[in-house]
Amino acid sequence: MLLKMLDIGITLRKYRNKYKFTQQCAANVIGISRVAYRKWENNEVDFSLSQLGKIAELYEISIQDIIIESGFRRLK
């Protein structure tokens, strides 16, 4: 059985580009480092629900919308 996970990184990058934010700007609003935000966009680390809430607020979307839009991708 293949495990699947949300591909939130692509969704984060899409919204960051839509709003023309830099990774540093988005990271500052969320309260993390730019490197940590980059790792989120590359799906290298997990993040808390409270951090996801800050992202949703920043991009004016709901957490549910982020999850639905992110879909799933197969793990390699």
The per-residue pLDDT for range 32-73, each reduced to its tens digit, is 999 999 999 998 887 788 888 999 999 999 998 988 888 855
Domains defined along the chain, listed by start: 4-68 (1.10.260.40)
Higher-confidence residue of 19 and 50: namely 19
- Letter string b/e over residues 5-25, b meaning 16 or more CB atoms within 10 A of that residue's CB: ebebbbbbbebbeeeebebee
Cβ-Cβ contacts under 8 Å for 6 (sequence gap 6 or more): 67, 70, 71, 72, 73
pTM: 0.79
CA–CA separation, 75 and 58 (whole Å): 28
